[in-house]
Amino acid sequence: MLAHRLLPKIVKKRLRRLMRYGPPGVGRVRFGDFERTDPISRDFGYDRGTPIDRIYIERFLAEHASSIHGRTLEVVDDGYTARFGGSRTTQRDIVDLRPENTRATIVGDLTNLGAEWNDKFDAIVLTQTLHLIFDLQEAVSALFRLLKSGGTVLVTVPGLTPIDHHQEYETWYWSLTEASARRLFSDVFGADSTHIAVYGNVCSAVCFLEGIAAEELKPEMLHAQDHHFPVTIGICATKG
């Protein structure tokens, strides 16, 4: 204690700052609103604002927007190809299994479209869909087949994530890692044509699991990247 009293004020100030921002000691963690076994939201945070993974998905698409051009394909609707492709797109196709989707230009299973759809698309945007397909290798091979030479697929998949509580619960088969995403796509597209992006950190991962919305996080806590805590993984793969 005497040694502490003899320290210059500036050193004491820095020590206090380090103690405040360093990890708490054992038994001193304050759980606060997280001290419960139910998440704050069971709807990915939609009921509180923007889900954290949506921020990462749209950041990935914005970073690769120049690849969205010509004839494009998206699942269920063309929201992202229209938003990020804009006037660069010449035709925006929509594929859906459900015939009641009147906006769909192709009714069928993305992984099992006929040969007439081979080599048709300059860009395919597939967000948060691949993990709902059990045969991942077949799905990636189908994406490769549908693309024109030089065409690009932009895919996002979940890493650390809650599981859907509604209709997708029974078909939510996978969560991927950076390594598994790279292996899955590079085996088909080639290592040099496959690029992986990882979004998330321990704070945003915990908050996403709890259902906290992106607007509730400080920007520096939302956008810091730590590959050991992947919330969302983006894959950009080009057909040679």
Instruction: Report the DSSP beta bridge partners of residue 158.
Output: 232
Q: How far apart are CA 237 and CA 218, in angstroms?
A: 32
The continuous run of DSSP H or E covering 184 comes out as helix 178-189
Backbone dihedral angles phi then psi of residue 38, each to the nearest 5 degrees: -100, 140
DSSP state, 20?
H
CA distance 122 to 151: 4
Report yes or no: 194 and 209 within 8 Å, Cβ to Cβ: no
pLDDT tens for the chain, residues 1 to 240: 445 456 677 766 666 665 566 788 888 888 899 999 999 999 999 999 999 999 999 999 999 999 999 999 999 999 999 999 999 999 999 999 999 999 999 999 999 999 999 999 999 999 999 999 999 999 999 999 999 999 999 999 999 999 998 878 899 999 999 999 999 999 999 999 999 999 999 999 999 999 999 999 999 999 999 999 999 999 999 999
The structure's pTM equals 0.89
Q: State the DSSP H helix or E strand holding residue 109, giving kind and residue range, or none if neither.
A: none
Domains of the chain: 39-238 (3.40.50.150)
- Within 10 A of 203 (CB to CB), how many other CB atoms are there? 18
